[in-house]
Amino acid sequence: MTRLLRLYPQLLRTGFAEAVAYRAEFLIWMFSTNMPLVMLAIWAAAARSGPVSGYSQEGFAAYYLATLLVRLMTGAWVVWEMTMEIRQGTLALRLLRPIHPLLQWSADNLAAIPMRGVVAIPVAAILLYVARSELSHDWFSWLLLFPALLGAWLLYFLVQAIIGTFALRFESAASLFDAWLGFSNILSGYLVPLDLFPRAVRSVAVVLPFRFQLSFPVELMLGRWSRGEALELLVAQWAYVLLFLGLARVAWRSGLRHYAAYGG
């Protein structure tokens, strides 16, 4: 444990240096996250003639800007890195290092967050300017936002890691993640706020893990929950985090037995 505490900051530094080295590519990747704005366009047009089920134009602007912000801050790409390294055999090098590969990748992904901030801060500024009155007035939900964002990032990372371990056995792990993304886009509130869905869809979406990846932090920013409800949701989110952490460990260990180190 103490060794890990010594090594992890170093891994973070290396990861940050890497993110800086590829800054142009990095920025272009971030700019291609524009789906919330595309969705904002249609809802803003729909709300021209008056609010849509409680959302005014500013309400939609607040929702989708917050969504964009959360998505920008909680990005991870470990599934693609895992599938590539497993296919090319470079995973063997990682296995030789004295730190669990998943921890190495998590450092890479976490270290990019300051770079993500460069794009996210202007978005946050626009959000404050355009839709200040729609944001939460309670300091408590802003306080909860930090563990909620960390939980959202962990969920996203761990799901990718679990699916990534399938690459140790099958070829199309990346396609599997693509399918997950398809469902997640709908059920996490990324494309449409969950409260605009019909009751049946919504009652399914609230129990699945997808919402904790995105719409929960967004709703905290918009002040949708009372303090008690917000705390309950945070506990539920972290319960999912622990569950996925366990799954990732099991999936990694059992997948590694199948790994035959191509080209290694």
Partner 1 sequence: MRALRVVRAQLRASIATALQYRFEFAVEGALALLWMGVTLVPLIVVFGTRESVAGWTFPEMLVVLGWFVALKGILEGTLSPSLLQVIEHVRKGTLDFVLLKPADAQLLVSLSKIEPWRMIDVAGAAIILVVAFQHIGHPPAFADLLLAALLLCSAVLVLYSIAILVVSIAFVAVRVDNLLYLFQSVFDVARWPSSVFRGALAIIFTFVLPLALMTTYPSLALLGKLNLRTAVAAVAGTLLFAAVARGIWIVSIRRYTSASS
Chain residues in the site for partner 1 (CB under 8 A): 24-25, 28-29, 31-35, 38-39, 41-43, 45-46, 48-49, 52-53, 171-172, 175, 178-179, 182, 185-186, 191-192, 196-198
Which one, 210 or 238, has the nearer CB to partner 1? 210
Least distance between partner 1 and beta carbon 238 (Å): 28
Torsion angle in degrees (nearest 10) through CA of 63, 68, 69, 70: 90
Least distance between partner 1 and beta carbon 123 (Å): 16
The radius of gyration of the chain's CA atoms, rounded to the nearest angstrom, is 19
Alpha-carbon distance 34 to 93, whole Å?
Answer: 36
To the nearest 10 degrees (0 to 180), the angle between helices 57-73 and 35-46 is 170
Least distance between partner 1 and beta carbon 176 (Å): 9
Long-range contacts of the stretch 17-21 (C-beta < 8 A, 24+): 18/108, 18/111, 19/111, 19/112, 19/114, 19/115, 20/115
Least distance between partner 1 and beta carbon 181 (Å): 9
Which one, 102 or 214, has the nearer CB to partner 1? 214
Which one, 58 or 138, has the nearer CB to partner 1? 58
**21 neighbors 163 (Cβ within 8 angstroms):** no
Which one, 175 or 254, has the nearer CB to partner 1? 175
